[in-house]
Amino acid sequence: MSQVAGNPDLAIFFGSQTGNAEELAGKTAKMAKKAGLNPKIFDMDGFDPATFSSHKRILIITSTWGEGDMPDNAEDLWLATEGLNPSLAGVSFSVCAIGDTAYDEFCQAGIDWDQKFVSLGATRVHEIQLCDVEYEPEWDKWAKAVIPLMAGVDGGASAAPSGAVEVEAAASEAPIAVPAGASGDLSGLLSGDRSIAIFFGSQTGNAEGLAAKTAKMAAAYGLEPTVIDMEGYDPAKFATHKRILIITSTWGEGEMPDNAEAVWTAICNSTPALSTVHYSVCAIGDTAYDEFCQAGLDWDGKFSSLGATSIEEIKLCDVDFEPPWLDWVKEALPKIACVDSTGVFQEDLLEQMRSYGVGDAEDEGDAGDFTPPSIVVPELSVTMRLFRYDPLLAQSGYDTLAVALPGHATIEDALVAVKREFDGSLTFRSGGIAGQNPLTGIKVNGRIVPADTTRICDLVGDGDTLTLEPLPGYEVLKDLMVSYDRFDESRSDSKPWMIADPRQGERLASGAPMGVMSSAEATHLHTLADVGSLQLVNAMSDTYDVDEAYSGPGIALQRWVRSQDPRSGSSHVKQMFELMQGKGGVWNEADISSIHRHGIDGAQAADSLYSARARLLAEYKFTGKPGRLVKTYSRSVKMSGNVNETTLYRSVLGPLGLGSNIMNGVSLRMMLGFTRNGGPLMRGFQGMLIPPAGIGKIPNMFNSKVANHHEVVAIFNELDRRF
């Protein structure tokens, strides 16, 4: 830690529109803390410019919005500063500005603050840093240079002004602020290691949710919570925590939930000493079961037998678990917060601790404005196999890396880490921070997933291999980045825009006309179209990358939704049907089950394909090979209870298809099939000789009827008389 001159306070202001600058402010604070400074982060929103001068050290991190404008949260402060023009003599500062060189007014907001501070008499300790869209490397360079300079600035003796709006960094990174009202003893208790591990064993997510809420409340008692998924946890590490809370449900007949099963087995086999641990357990269960809350009772008994000290008696919660959990957490948190950094329970400070935390903790208990903390999953050691393609050299292959990653990191996090640490030329699509980006799709161990929102721990376990490949079906531009031109062209051809018929509507208060739709219709439409990315849905099909004419299941889904929209005009609906029925349409999909297995989006797309096919069969009266296939298949099942393959081959392929099979050797392989497999020779001859079969490996020309065949016929007649 470097030497800091005088008061170590450092004020870090952020002006942020999308959260990037705020995130950098948090990271800067973390670096500053390591350098011995006492960083405080200030949202520019609501800050009084008159109090700028009470800070000796100021760092400003701001983005620029629109055409060189301040971000929304900095607008008022900028205007107020312009109006007030306070003297900033004695203030040392530096600015880090984030922008986009694609705009004329690149980083203008940061430049404005830099010039304003100089004009008001502040001392610039480091030149303004202008950062482009890939801002992190430039910010990093600036922060590493400016923090030692700030540590060298004399901080004087003044404290931070009251009334400032302080923004808490992420719980695990937040500098601990000791309240002015805390007593000396409590101050001592609140310094040093304040970590608390909150483990959850969860089957349906209830315990996980409670763990997150408990973590939020723990911060009110000056604790630094880490929420830990029991999945894959090494029980030897329990002893590294002084404070542990366990929240677990019980599954089945008194069993551990799935994510806790392995760690429970492991701890039963390893029996680590936990004499330095204080703990408490909250168990969720259902009194309707005999083994009510057994998993929680097991953990409580196990920790006790391993020498851990129960700080609060186990709480058993029934199905309405929130009220008893809240009772438990209000008792357990202040007590466990009184365990000091040496692991000793300071019972005499309990009342003070209760008074200190109770106000905030009660507020946090409400679900209202609750923001769950990030959930930490144990680190995973994985082998990454990365597909690489160099378009200049037309070379492709795989890079293999052994890496250790936080289990909760996303695929994109892993790729960013590889790009930074190993190979800056690695190319992939980034989702940014704005939530799921439908274009970040990637193939990971055969699964089609969005890279920006898919966690590594949801795909592989410790020691596994993570094979990352570009989305199938699209042209690879470089490495993992594909071109979506194929999708865009199909989408354009499908004319997905609304072409409506005149229909009944209402008028808004402004007099403008507006169409109406019943809520049932609207819900149905939204349900049909409820997939994250149509581009990804296309890549889920195993057919899409072998059939260049196929527009893909994503496009089919879009066309189907448009055809089902009650606002669509009849001619537009007809056009959608023709597109779906025609070349490249829904019948080009060779196997819908390859789509269906890709999670919720895949199932949704598959359902829509089935619905579309059923509608098209009715519309076009079972014409074409697909129509003949469905009709013949269904009729053969109705006629005998089973499929008659002979009839299928003959009816669907027709004479030309059968001839083609003979020419291509298919029939010969069929005929010789039983001989190859060692079966009786006669079976092969049956397939060749007995009419009206197509030549082939068909031993039973006409199926015998199944027992109670009339039941099958009755089912067909009840549900569909077309067959």
Partner 1 sequence: MVKYSYYPGNVARQSSREIEDTIHPLCRSLGIELVEITGYNSDGGNIIKQGNRELQLALNARNLALAEINGHDILTVCASSQGIMHESLDTFQKDPIALANANRVLEKTTGMTLKADEITTSHLLHILIDEIGIDKIKAAVVNPLDLDIACYYGPHMQRKGACGEDDPWNPTYMEQLITALGGQPIEYKSKTSSVGNPSLLSLGDSVMKMTARVLNDAKKAGAKVLVTACSQSHSNLDSYQGKAGRVANKQTNIPVVNLTEIIAFALGHFTDRYAQLRTRAIIIGS
Query: Which 542-601 positions form the footprint of partner 1 (CB under 8 A)?
Result: 542-543, 546-547, 550, 587-594, 596-597
Three-class SS string for 75-137? HHHHHHHHHHCCCCCCCEEEEEEECCCCCCCCCHHHHHHHHHHHHCCCEECCCCEEECCCCHH
Q: Enter the tokens of residue 159.
A: 């404290």
Q: Enter the tokens of residue 229.
A: 């998924």
Q: Could you tell me if 402 and 381 are in contact, meaning their C-beta atoms sit under 8 angstroms apart?
A: yes
**Which amino acid, 500?**
A
Number of residues that bind partner 1 (CB under 8 A): 76
In angstroms, the first-to-last Cα distance of the chain is: 82
Q: Applying CB under 8 A, does 716 fall inside the site for partner 1?
A: yes
CB of 487 to partner 1, least distance (A): 18
CA–CA distance, 339 with 330 (Å, rounded to integer): 15
The answer to whether the bond into 334 is cis (omega within 30° of 0) is no
- Alpha-carbon torsion (146, 149, 151, 155), positive or negative: negative
CA–CA distance, 21 with 720 (Å, rounded to integer): 62
* Closer residue to partner 1, CB minimum distance, 106 or 387: 387
CB of 416 to partner 1, least distance (A): 24
CB of 128 to partner 1, least distance (A): 49
CA–CA distance, 60 with 98 (Å, rounded to integer): 11
CB of 169 to partner 1, least distance (A): 37
Q: Please select the residue that binds partner 1; options are 447, 495, 524, 567, rule is CB under 8 A.
A: 447
* Closer residue to partner 1, CB minimum distance, 475 or 591: 591
Rg over alpha carbons for the chain, rounded to the nearest Å, is: 33
Q: Could you tell me if 110 and 95 are in contact, meaning their C-beta atoms sit under 8 angstroms apart?
A: yes
Three-state SS for 631? Answer: helix
Whole-number Cα distances in Å, 258 to 201, 204, 250, 299, 619: 8, 10, 10, 15, 48
* Closer residue to partner 1, CB minimum distance, 358 or 630: 630
Question: In the range 500-539, which residues lie near partner 1 by CB under 8 A?
Answer: none
* Closer residue to partner 1, CB minimum distance, 292 or 723: 723
CB of 678 to partner 1, least distance (A): 3
* Closer residue to partner 1, CB minimum distance, 370 or 622: 622
Q: Could you tell me if 681 and 654 are in contact, meaning their C-beta atoms sit under 8 angstroms apart?
A: no
Stretch binding partner 1 (CB under 8 A), from 1-9, 62-70, 393-401, 634-642: 634-642
CB of 175 to partner 1, least distance (A): 43
* Closer residue to partner 1, CB minimum distance, 171 or 643: 643
Q: Enter the tokens of residue 340.
A: 């000091």
CA–CA distance, 385 with 479 (Å, rounded to integer): 12
Q: Applying CB under 8 A, does 718 fall inside the site for partner 1?
A: yes
Q: Applying CB under 8 A, does 641 fall inside the site for partner 1?
A: yes
**Is beta strand 57-63 parallel, antiparallel or unpaired with respect to 92-98?**
parallel
Q: Applying CB under 8 A, does 674 fall inside the site for partner 1?
A: yes
**Which amino acid, 461?**
G
DSSP secondary structure, 143-168, as one string: HHHHHHHHHHS---SPPPPTT--B--
Q: Applying CB under 8 A, does 719 fall inside the site for partner 1?
A: yes
Q: Please select the residue that binds partner 1; options are 66, 669, 682, 689, rule is CB under 8 A.
A: 669
**Is beta strand 224-229 parallel, antiparallel or unpaired with respect to 278-284?**
unpaired
Q: Applying CB under 8 A, does 652 fall inside the site for partner 1?
A: yes
* Closer residue to partner 1, CB minimum distance, 410 or 588: 588
Question: In the range 348-387, which residues lie near partner 1 by CB under 8 A?
Answer: none
Stretch binding partner 1 (CB under 8 A), from 90-98, 239-247, 357-365, 709-717: 709-717
* Closer residue to partner 1, CB minimum distance, 446 or 505: 446
Q: Applying CB under 8 A, does 613 fall inside the site for partner 1?
A: yes
Question: In the range 456-495, which residues lie near partner 1 by CB under 8 A?
Answer: none
Residues in the chain: 723
Stretch binding partner 1 (CB under 8 A), from 5-13, 113-121, 359-367, 439-447: 439-447
Stretch binding partner 1 (CB under 8 A), from 16-24, 294-302, 567-575, 702-710: 702-710
Q: Applying CB under 8 A, does 714 fall inside the site for partner 1?
A: yes
Q: Enter the tokens of residue 680.
A: 């009786």
Q: Please select the residue that binds partner 1; options are 147, 479, 626, 695, rule is CB under 8 A.
A: 626
CB of 584 to partner 1, least distance (A): 11
DSSP secondary structure, 509-522, as one string: TTS-EEE---HHHH
Stretch binding partner 1 (CB under 8 A), from 65-73, 152-160, 338-346, 693-701: 693-701
Contacts of 673 (CB under 8 A, 6+ apart): 679, 684, 697
Q: Enter the tokens of residue 86.
A: 């306070």
Query: Where do the DSSP E strands lie in 473-512?
Result: 476-478, 481-482, 505-507
CB of 700 to partner 1, least distance (A): 5
CB of 611 to partner 1, least distance (A): 8
CB of 596 to partner 1, least distance (A): 8
CB of 193 to partner 1, least distance (A): 40
Stretch binding partner 1 (CB under 8 A), from 120-128, 140-148, 348-356, 648-656: 648-656
> What values do phi and psi take at 355, rounded to 5?
-65, -35
Q: Applying CB under 8 A, does 649 fall inside the site for partner 1?
A: yes
Q: Could you tell me if 44 and 92 are in contact, meaning their C-beta atoms sit under 8 angstroms apart?
A: no
Stretch binding partner 1 (CB under 8 A), from 159-167, 283-291, 367-375, 701-709: 701-709
Q: Please select the residue that binds partner 1; options are 288, 366, 676, 691, rule is CB under 8 A.
A: 676
Q: Applying CB under 8 A, does 281 fall inside the site for partner 1?
A: no
* Closer residue to partner 1, CB minimum distance, 43 or 645: 645
Give 650's DSSP letter.
I
* Closer residue to partner 1, CB minimum distance, 273 or 689: 689
Stretch binding partner 1 (CB under 8 A), from 101-109, 141-149, 258-266, 605-613: 605-613
Q: Could you tell me if 372 and 408 are in contact, meaning their C-beta atoms sit under 8 angstroms apart?
A: no
Residue 45: which of 75, 3, 90, 79 has the closest Cα? Answer: 75
CB of 509 to partner 1, least distance (A): 40
Three-state SS for 204? Answer: coil
Q: Could you tell me if 292 and 249 are in contact, meaning their C-beta atoms sit under 8 angstroms apart?
A: no
CB of 11 to partner 1, least distance (A): 50
Angle (nearest 5°) at CA 84 between 79 and 89: 115
Q: Applying CB under 8 A, does 433 fall inside the site for partner 1?
A: no
* Closer residue to partner 1, CB minimum distance, 355 or 708: 708
CB of 382 to partner 1, least distance (A): 13
Q: Applying CB under 8 A, does 614 fall inside the site for partner 1?
A: yes
Q: Applying CB under 8 A, does 665 fall inside the site for partner 1?
A: yes
Contacts of 361 (CB under 8 A, 6+ apart): 217, 220, 221, 329, 330, 333
Q: Please select the residue that binds partner 1; options are 116, 633, 647, 695, rule is CB under 8 A.
A: 633
